[in-house]
């Protein structure tokens, strides 16, 4: 544990909360990804135990693969993103994960409230509007979750860069 704390520059025990949240949500994501696999892949025999064993092996494999991707991304971004301690990168990744998921959950009811469905609009236009509305709420939720997780300054700078890339930088005061 001492080596883990030193590696992630954790100085207080409450900071261990963020790696724990990251590990839990990565496990949950792995579980949800394996559930997308067709059920007949897990029924090679009539055995009761084997399908569950295969399911667990797939979960562990996907978890390991996703963990390697996240650790690689953290390694690449730790010099690019300015943070005080290394564990804050985990907090930033958690904010991005919450924001991405939440923007879809907020965008879906909004587009239904407007009365737009896949049935009454050409699919390309539907998905364009859905992505546009989700992206709009993504910008707002990114700042909200950034503030909740104590990274508002980082995400405000990130937001300003993103808005400038969208050509909306003229609306921001320097």
Q: Where are the domains of the chain?
A: 1-80, 84-174
| % helix, strand, coil for the chain, step of 5 | 75, 0, 25
Q: How many CA atoms lie within 13 A of 51 on its CB side?
A: 13
CA distance between the termini of the chain: 43
Q: Give the residue carrying structure tokens 């992630």.
A: 8
- Alpha-carbon distances, residue 84 vs 42, 87, 105, 115 (angstroms): 46, 9, 32, 46
Predicted confidence at residue 140, as pLDDT, reads 92
At 165, which helix (H) or strand (E)? helix 152-165
Predicted confidence at residue 40, as pLDDT, reads 66
Prediction pTM value: 0.80
Predicted confidence at residue 163, as pLDDT, reads 81
Q: Give, for all 174 residues of the chain, the pLDDT tens digit.
A: 888 888 888 888 898 999 999 999 999 999 999 888 876 666 655 566 777 788 889 999 999 999 999 999 999 998 888 888 888 999 999 999 999 889 988 888 888 888 888 888 888 888 898 888 888 899 899 999 999 999 999 999 888 888 888 777 666 665
Predicted confidence at residue 59, as pLDDT, reads 93
Phi, psi (rounded to 5 degrees) for 43: -120, 60
Max distance between CA atoms of the chain, in angstroms, equals 66
């Amino acid at each position: 544990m001492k080596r883990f704390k030193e590696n992630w520059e954790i100085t207080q025990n409450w900071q261990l909360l963020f790696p724990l949240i990251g590990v839990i949500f990565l496990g949950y994501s792995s579980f949800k990804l394996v559930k997308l696999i067709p059920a007949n892949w897990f029924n090679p025999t009539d055995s009761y135990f084997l399908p569950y064993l295969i399911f667990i092996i797939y979960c562990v494999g996907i978890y390991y693969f996703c963990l390697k991707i996240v650790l690689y991304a953290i390694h690449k971004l730790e010099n690019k993103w300015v943070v005080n301690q290394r564990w804050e990168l985990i907090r930033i990744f958690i904010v991005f994960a919450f924001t991405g998921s939440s923007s879809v959950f907020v965008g879906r009811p909004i587009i239904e409230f407007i009365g737009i469905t896949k049935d009454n609009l050409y699919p390309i236009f539907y998905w364009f509007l859905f992505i546009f509305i989700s992206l709009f709420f993504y910008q707002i939720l990114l700042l909200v979750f950034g503030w909740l997780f104590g990274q508002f300054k980082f995400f405000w700078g990130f937001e300003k860069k993103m808005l400038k890339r969208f050509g909306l930088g003229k609306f921001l005061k320097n």
